[in-house]
Structure 1
Amino acid sequence: MSNKLFALDIGTRSVVGIILSEQDGSYHVADLVTIEHKERSMIDGQIHNIVSVASVISEIKSILEERHGMLKKVSVAAAGRALKTMEGSMTIDIAGKPLFTPEDINRLELAAVQQAQQQLLSSAATADDYYYCVGYSVLHYKLDEDEIGSLIDQAGRTATAEVIATFLPRVVVESLLSALKRAGLEMEALTLEPIAAINVLIPPSMRRLNVALVDIGAGTSDIAITNNNTVVSYGMVPVAGDEITEALSNHYLLDFPVAEIAKRSLATEESITISDILGFEQQVPTSEVTAIIKPSIEKLASSIADEIKRLNQKSPQAVMVVGGGSLTPLLPKELSIRLDLPENRVGIRGLDALSEVTLSEGIFSTPALVTPIGIAIAARRAPIHYMSVTVNEKTIRLFELKEMTVGDALLAANIKARQLYGKPGMGISITLNGGRMMIPGEHGISSEILLNRKPASTKDFIMNGDEITLEPGKDGKDASVTIRDLIGEIQPIKVTIHGNKHTIVPSIECNGIPVGPDTLVEDRDEIVFSQSTKLNEVLEDLGMEPYIPFEVFVNNKRIRLDDWTPQFFIGNMPVPQDHPLRDGDEIKLGVHTPPTVGDIVATLDHSDQPTASITFNGEPVTIWSSGASILLNGEQVDNSAIVRPGDRLTIPKTAQRPFLFSDVFLFIDYSLPKNASSSYQLLRNGEPIGFNDSIFSGDALEIKFS
């Protein structure tokens, strides 16, 4: 292998050609040629005029061939400013699924990257129809809309991955190949400019640190961020050295090339001599010029700092600045302020940081040389080529910007995220006893990925010639449930009421129609079910008289008489009307003798009328004053009349008079004893008394026959 390396750094303003030689791991810059574009051939890292760029490349090639012999192969870099960065997210339903596995997360991330790619394709800013994904970083995982550190082994309703992905348009690579071919050169290796700079400034052992590398060119500032032993993010801001040059040009009325020369002198001179467009020449202190361009420097620093924090979600541990624009006065300090970093954590890195690189006489060390030297070294250390793999028997060409994975191949093959999962079955929505209920369909079974006919994951690395097969996943079944599945098992109960056996079964209606428990439920069904086991409700359902309290009206006032209210019994135990029945219960109704007017009068509150409590032949009797007859449903009755539920009694109020012995017979049902003689005696407290003699509360009355 030849130890001579030829590399080109094709920038916005100029093309740098460099010849390096390698000896025992050290590199020597043997030659360097820089030629500016004759017209605006490059815009944002993409070649817009292939013929013009090829002409500059040919000119550099001819100069270097005169000094170093024939040059056939060259290493180049795709400009970091050509990268497209887009955020994407994907949310999937995980309710009822097994716990989340690493492969589930890999596929979710891949779906989020693809969503970012679709956003990029649909954006008005680009018409490119294909992109290489050169890397992505996860911004957040979410479980049920709340951020979470890891989804592994988590269970919930939804899982979300939010990513920031970086893409390189295919047209950038194709235009580079076309320009080289026109100049008679073959691409030996290709890299990205940020990767090239990182390769020489941040060795793999340092990439565990969270460091931002900023390459400030003429038109754009390219950003790459390392963390966890890899490059995690790329970005670009369309603000760079030309912003400063234009500020000088506008203030001092300088032609742009003159302003550019003046800007470059600020880093080394205490004062600069400038000649404006009117021909006036003046010498200006560097401090004064710096004060003039400070607003532009602050704008540049803010733009870079904001993009770093967006890509990294926070300030990094340190920032390295390279490129010609890195020599802008005050820039490192302004960056440290906006990133809230100590000044010694933001530094300009030049070739002095590369102990293994030496320069030929006449080549001066500047930060602008870092990228072209890095391109050449990256081509030797980590050359990037195309690889070809097959995805479902379709050949896919991949651009090896990093270690390629199965996921990269699936993206390149335009495998849709939904193809990685079986489609979930259709769910149904129902109403159950007035409450809305969603019944999801079955989850689909994930597709199986085979790499060279062996099971693989989306993170597995691939090589040239690999065969990838995606076995489609199985779709989940549509939701299918019966009413029994929803309400569970409700067993019928058997009871005996008044000697008759009855079976109490649950009541189920679907859309107002009685159905059985094994009825299949359909979308939008309204289901009402119940199983009444309360005694009074069961009696009503069976068409029997439920528990009815014994109530009458006395002087138009409703009065409840619990002593004559029907009583239900289970065994010998009385039970209330809302008693829940159990399987095997036997219910009987206790029968009462209907009350008489006297019974009811005796239970009433006669606080507003005189009463007397006496005994008659040893039985207690309460009598009260009534100067008029009692009416039952409007008819005059005596105390022995039978009263039914709902009857109306009218008991008039009278003036107070003494109670007589004869009044007792209004409140009792007395019959003469059989074989009673015609001779009898009335006694009060053992003493004889007449029918119309007065009696008093507490008296003991008797009738004795001879």
Structure 2
Amino acid sequence: MIDGQIHNILSVANVIVDIKERLEKKHGPLKRVSVAAAGRALKTAEGSMTIDISENTLMNDEDINRLELAAVQQAQQKLLSSASMSKDEYYYCVGYSVLHYKLDGEEIGHLLDQTGQTASVDVIATFLPRVVVESLLSALKRAGLEMEALTLEPIAAINVLIPPSMRRLNVALVDIGAGTSDIAITDSNTVVAYGMVPIAGDEITEALSNHYLLDFPLAEQAKRSLSSGSDIVVTDILGFEQIVPSNEVISIIRPAIERLAQSISNEIKRLNGGQSPKAVMVVGGGSLTPTLMKELSTCLELPENRVAIRGLDALTNVTLATEIPSSPELVTPIGIAIAARRAPIHYMSVTVNDKTIRLFELKEMTVSDALLAANVKARQLYGRPGLGMSISVNDNDIIIPGEHGTPSIVRVNGQIASTKDRIADGDCIELHAGKEGRHASATLADVVEGSGTIDVTIDEVPLTLVPEITINGVNQPLETILQDRDKIIIQELHTLATALEKLNRNDLLTTSTFTITLDGKPIAHTVKSVEFMANGTVIGTSYLLKNGDNITSEKKDKLTIGEVINHLGKKLADEITVTFNGETLLIQKQRIAITVNGQQASAKDFIKAGDQLDLITLQADPIRFSDIFTSSDYQLPKNTSGNYQLLRNASPIGFNEPIFGGDALEIIFT
């Protein structure tokens, strides 16, 4: 077994059997075992997913879980598509954590019952390579053991040394072993990164071996003797024995110590966004290497008291037997034992559509965890929507959507379940794919609704009007089924002017022109000879007729001053709408004074050809609180006593202060 990977299953199984037999002599039969996987086998990837929720009701648990599942799958795809991964590699997802929820691009605590335009989730997912998992299971099976729980070595060390309450701090944990140095980084209340450098204590041993020509085991023994500070005795491969002062040995291995410190420091900075953490905790047998802590603090530009070796005395809630030494090399093994009990990753087997899937319980496992492990894509949880259709109606583009697909049906042991339902070892999961939505379909009548045949009456003469409708330039009946990219043209025959032409009543469309003088300049004005009414309301010849309209005409030989001014595009008065004591009021303030032939006039007065019309612009005085009484029949309440107060939008206002459209005005008595 090398660097956490089993290279010979049979040999490893024999070692397991040997250990198992020794333990069984002391503790009795053993059937289940907790396993620790090496940190270098663990891979993490972040994923994110955003969906449109503008047409949805409130977000529920199922919607959120499907969103999270899609984000984890995105992380898995990112991992599998990275340049460091080969096509044949497959990684099991062993769990994920939500980093952020976002609503309309802004971070939010949770998405449950939220509504908006878009919902997003960011996750960090952890993965183990299949070869690691399968080889572990095979070795255990040969040894007659069942995997009860799985723990990860760097996570184990973090769990016993840095509890969740400390993880808001930016701290690095380094476990320096023999062949590798495992690194974990905490920040913002979570473990944000894991890493590894492929050098550790053996690097120092090899430096000793090369310099003094020592066999590797003897060099390892000499290295461990350095912590005592006394002279060490070494015997080289030629049989010569010599006594060497420890400070001399340390100077010999200093370049190797510096390389180790620099490698670890570079990886810490890489994992920590290019900068040093606030502090570094070091465990493992390699942490006892002389001057290593000082070199690490120098490389990381940290004070020496911010880089420290942590031994068993740093563990909380742990009782140790008196014969157990307080050594930093025991922190990780004890962490593994504790993690196997406190937060184990339980192993289970389930079937998904008759395919056996192995899962590791970082938490209580759900149907979605099994679907993810079975490589079920998030899009498979819903039937695909049907294809939409794009058409043009009078040069206006219209999109006709396809039908939504139906959700898939999930059954656990034959019972309908949701993706959030918990599962247990041996469960049988069936996924019945949802139906795909039908493609968009519409008839000509569906898109030209309101443009059909109508019946109207004009001066008691009945008339039936039929529009001309073409599809791609060809007349088609209303029952015609539309195709994508069809171009529909509707030639409206429903205006009053067109109807009058159809009735040969063009005489009703005649106009006359007369000239008046406006502010000393002659102006020609066109007057319609006839005024039309539709169901009692004045209309123009461009009025769009509706089925059942009754149109009447009346000769018109006079024109009001207001009509002339409107035609000129001038504004006689400013208008605002307010509420006063709960009553809606339209307040007008005149901005133009009118005279006709030198006499004061109003907009309702008639004007005739040759009249002299003068418009005088009045001072642009704002509309004030006092102006409401020109539009209101407000009466003071009877038997009032005390003071009164004027309010605008619940705030005090003066009698002559300006008011604006939409204001809520009040008079209250105190």
TM interval, shorter chain, is 0.5 to 0.7
1:585 has 2:551 as partner: yes
2:399 alignment counterpart: 438
1:307 has 2:279 as partner: no
1:99 alignment counterpart: 58
Deviation sequence 1:344-378 (CA, Å, 0-9, x none): 887643211236343564x6432221222233344
1:415 has 2:376 as partner: yes
1:78 has 2:43 as partner: no
**Does the 8 Å contact 1:81/1:220 carry over to 2?**
no
**Does the 8 Å contact 1:506/1:529 carry over to 2?**
yes
Per the alignment, do residues 520 and 95 of structure 1 end up closer, same or farther by CA in structure 2, a change over 3 Å counting?
Answer: farther
Which amino acid in the other structure matches residue 68 of structure 2?
A: E
Which amino acid in the other structure matches residue 76 of structure 1?
A: V
1:117 has 2:73 as partner: no
2:429 alignment counterpart: 468
1:570 alignment counterpart: 532
1:387 alignment counterpart: 348
CA root-mean-square deviation:
5.6
Structure-to-structure mapping, 1:331-410, within 5 angstroms: 333=297, 348-354=309-315, 356-358=318-320, 361=323, 364-379=325-340, 386-392=347-353, 394-410=355-371
1:585 is paired with a residue of what secondary structure? strand
- Of 36, 61, 67, which aligns to 1:108? 67
Per the alignment, do residues 569 and 407 of structure 1 end up closer, same or farther by CA in structure 2, a change over 3 Å counting?
Answer: closer
Deviation sequence 1:354-411 (CA, Å, 0-9, x none): 36343564x6432221222233344455666543334345554434454322222222
| Alpha-carbon distance in structure 2 between the residues aligned to 1:266 and 1:147 | 53
| Alpha-carbon distance in structure 2 between the residues aligned to 1:432 and 1:468 | 49
Kindly state the Cα deviation for residue 117 of structure 1 after the two structures are TM-superposed: 2.9
Greater Rg by CA: 1
1:46 is paired with a residue of what secondary structure? coil
2:483 alignment counterpart: 522
1:425 is paired with a residue of what secondary structure? coil
**Does the 8 Å contact 1:270/1:285 carry over to 2?**
no
**Does the 8 Å contact 2:455/2:464 carry over to 1?**
yes
| Alpha-carbon distance in structure 2 between the residues aligned to 1:453 and 1:315 | 54
Deviation sequence 1:43-88 (CA, Å, 0-9, x none): 4x322344666687788889x7899799977643111211122333
Structure-to-structure mapping, 1:495-510, within 5 angstroms: 501-504=462-465, 507-510=468-471
| Alpha-carbon distance in structure 1 between the residues aligned to 2:537 and 2:359 | 87
1:221 has 2:221 as partner: no
Kindly state the Cα deviation for residue 512 of structure 1 after the two structures are TM-superposed: 2.5
1:477 is paired with a residue of what secondary structure? coil
Kindly state the Cα deviation for residue 166 of structure 1 after the two structures are TM-superposed: 0.9
Per the alignment, do residues 437 and 584 of structure 1 end up closer, same or farther by CA in structure 2, a change over 3 Å counting?
Answer: same
1:215 is paired with a residue of what secondary structure? strand
Q: Which runs of 5+ in 2 are unaligned?
A: 514-522, 558-670
Per the alignment, do residues 564 and 126 of structure 1 end up closer, same or farther by CA in structure 2, a change over 3 Å counting?
Answer: closer
| Alpha-carbon distance in structure 1 between the residues aligned to 2:265 and 2:17 | 36
1:191 alignment counterpart: 151
Per the alignment, do residues 590 and 499 of structure 1 end up closer, same or farther by CA in structure 2, a change over 3 Å counting?
Answer: farther
Per the alignment, do residues 315 and 376 of structure 1 end up closer, same or farther by CA in structure 2, a change over 3 Å counting?
Answer: same
What is the TM-score with the length of structure 2 in the denominator?
Answer: 0.61
| Alpha-carbon distance in structure 2 between the residues aligned to 1:184 and 1:452 | 29
- Of 275, 293, 297, which aligns to 1:329? 293
| Alpha-carbon distance in structure 2 between the residues aligned to 1:46 and 1:470 | 34
1:297 has 2:261 as partner: yes
Per the alignment, do residues 401 and 163 of structure 1 end up closer, same or farther by CA in structure 2, a change over 3 Å counting?
Answer: closer
| Alpha-carbon distance in structure 1 between the residues aligned to 2:343 and 2:366 | 17
| Alpha-carbon distance in structure 1 between the residues aligned to 2:341 and 2:478 | 75
Per the alignment, do residues 563 and 51 of structure 1 end up closer, same or farther by CA in structure 2, a change over 3 Å counting?
Answer: closer
Per the alignment, do residues 209 and 395 of structure 1 end up closer, same or farther by CA in structure 2, a change over 3 Å counting?
Answer: farther
2:387 alignment counterpart: 426
What is the TM-score with the length of structure 1 in the denominator?
Answer: 0.58
Structure-to-structure mapping, 1:201-220, within 5 angstroms: 201=161, 214-217=174-177, 218-220=179-181
2:7 alignment counterpart: 48
1:365 is paired with a residue of what secondary structure? coil
| Alpha-carbon distance in structure 1 between the residues aligned to 2:431 and 2:48 | 23
1:631 alignment counterpart: none
- Of 410, 424, 429, which aligns to 1:449? 410
| Alpha-carbon distance in structure 1 between the residues aligned to 2:24 and 2:154 | 31
Per the alignment, do residues 418 and 577 of structure 1 end up closer, same or farther by CA in structure 2, a change over 3 Å counting?
Answer: closer
| Alpha-carbon distance in structure 1 between the residues aligned to 2:208 and 2:503 | 101
| Alpha-carbon distance in structure 2 between the residues aligned to 1:566 and 1:68 | 115
- Of 133, 148, 167, which aligns to 2:127? 167
| Alpha-carbon distance in structure 2 between the residues aligned to 1:319 and 1:509 | 78
1:47 is paired with a residue of what secondary structure? coil
**Does the 8 Å contact 1:427/1:478 carry over to 2?**
yes
**Does the 8 Å contact 2:96/2:124 carry over to 1?**
yes
Per the alignment, do residues 143 and 121 of structure 1 end up closer, same or farther by CA in structure 2, a change over 3 Å counting?
Answer: same
1:133 has 2:93 as partner: yes
| Alpha-carbon distance in structure 1 between the residues aligned to 2:420 and 2:186 | 21
1:470 is paired with a residue of what secondary structure? strand
After superposing the two structures, state which structure 1 stretch, 250-259 or 416-425, moved more: 250-259
Kindly state the Cα deviation for residue 172 of structure 1 after the two structures are TM-superposed: 0.9
Kindly state the Cα deviation for residue 324 of structure 1 after the two structures are TM-superposed: 3.6
Kindly state the Cα deviation for residue 173 of structure 1 after the two structures are TM-superposed: 2.7
1:241 alignment counterpart: 200
1:24 alignment counterpart: none
Per the alignment, do residues 345 and 472 of structure 1 end up closer, same or farther by CA in structure 2, a change over 3 Å counting?
Answer: farther
Per the alignment, do residues 506 and 54 of structure 1 end up closer, same or farther by CA in structure 2, a change over 3 Å counting?
Answer: same
**Does the 8 Å contact 2:176/2:201 carry over to 1?**
no
| Alpha-carbon distance in structure 2 between the residues aligned to 1:472 and 1:585 | 59
Structure-to-structure mapping, 1:602-613, within 5 angstroms: none
**Does the 8 Å contact 2:39/2:196 carry over to 1?**
no
Per the alignment, do residues 264 and 517 of structure 1 end up closer, same or farther by CA in structure 2, a change over 3 Å counting?
Answer: farther
Deviation sequence 1:435-470 (CA, Å, 0-9, x none): 434332232232243445555433333222334343
Per the alignment, do residues 411 and 577 of structure 1 end up closer, same or farther by CA in structure 2, a change over 3 Å counting?
Answer: closer
Kindly state the Cα deviation for residue 488 of structure 1 after the two structures are TM-superposed: 5.5
| Alpha-carbon distance in structure 2 between the residues aligned to 1:564 and 1:448 | 71
Which amino acid in the other structure matches residue 86 of structure 1?
A: A
Which amino acid in the other structure matches residue 457 of structure 1?
A: S
| Alpha-carbon distance in structure 1 between the residues aligned to 2:42 and 2:526 | 95
2:550 is paired with a residue of what secondary structure? coil
Q: Percent identity?
A: 53
Which amino acid in the other structure matches residue 66 of structure 2?
A: R
Per the alignment, do residues 137 and 432 of structure 1 end up closer, same or farther by CA in structure 2, a change over 3 Å counting?
Answer: farther
Structure-to-structure mapping, 1:602-641, within 5 angstroms: none
